Chains A and B, each alone.
Chain A
Amino acid sequence: DIQMTQSPSTLSASVGDRVTITCRTSQSISKWLAWYQQKPGKAPKVLIYESSTLESAVPSRFSGSGSGTEFTLTISSLQPDDSATYYCQQYNAYNPTFGGGTKVEIK
């Protein structure tokens, strides 16, 4: 299985801050990476797929980049509604695997 290393595991930032989350894979997955947001008591919601394509209706402050083994999710200006846990997921090959998650807290 492809191993996913996501960092940091938690971060605390202020409204308006630029926030970056990193996901590294144990082998190259080309562009086949998705990012999800999950809030307490809710199902995950896809934000980005194919590393950098924004899902429809997702605010443009979210962006994704990377290819191969290193990927980033950036929130350009953190908003109170962005308090959540974020996961990366590779879908280059079975089994699809998720990163351990990053909990984003608002200071």
Chain B
Amino acid sequence: EVHLVESGGGLVQPGGSLRLSCAVSRSSLSTLIIGWVRRAPGKGLEWVSTISGIDGATYYADSVEGRFTISRDNSRNTVYLQMNSLTAEDTAIYYCTKEGYTSARCGAFDIWGQGTMVTVSS
């Protein structure tokens, strides 16, 4: 079974940047579609971004479009989420997820990492 491990979370000041990593093991990233989902304190789940390891297609939530960039390094089997211009509203646990079910237009997630906490505060 695919295993996902996130890293890179931490405390950052408003306006700052942070890069999250998701290391994929037990499968080749080039065959997978990987997403990021976050959960802010006291709130529900919010999809953030998705990248296809197959063709590199990327998708973003409106709330992060233009500030976050998702990318992949198939040779390292790792997905990255570069987060710029961070605000307090980006404070959340960020989960790396694997798309396991699809409507052919979009997917749901069958494998999740343990999450990494991002705190945006001065």
Contacts and interface: CB of A to CB of B under 8 A. Distances in A.
A91 B115 contact: no
B59 A94 contact: yes
Given A43-B95, A44-B95, A49-B101, A95 B112 contact: no
B106 A96 contact: yes
Contacts of A5: none
B105 A94 contact: yes
B113 interface: yes
B115 A43 contact: yes
Given A49-B108, A91-B107, A1 B62 contact: yes
Contact of B109 (A32, A46, A99, A100): A46
Interface in A1-59: 1, 30, 32, 34, 36, 38, 43-46, 49-50, 55
A34 B110 CA distance: 10
B114 A43 contact: yes
Contacts of B61: 95
A101 interface: yes
A93 B105 contact: yes
B4 to A, nearest CB: 9
17 contacts: A32-B103, A38-B45, A43-B113, A44-B109, A46-B109, A49-B110, A50-B101, A55-B110, A89-B108, A89-B109, A91-B107, A91-B108, A94-B106, A95-B61, A95-B62, A100-B44, A101-B44
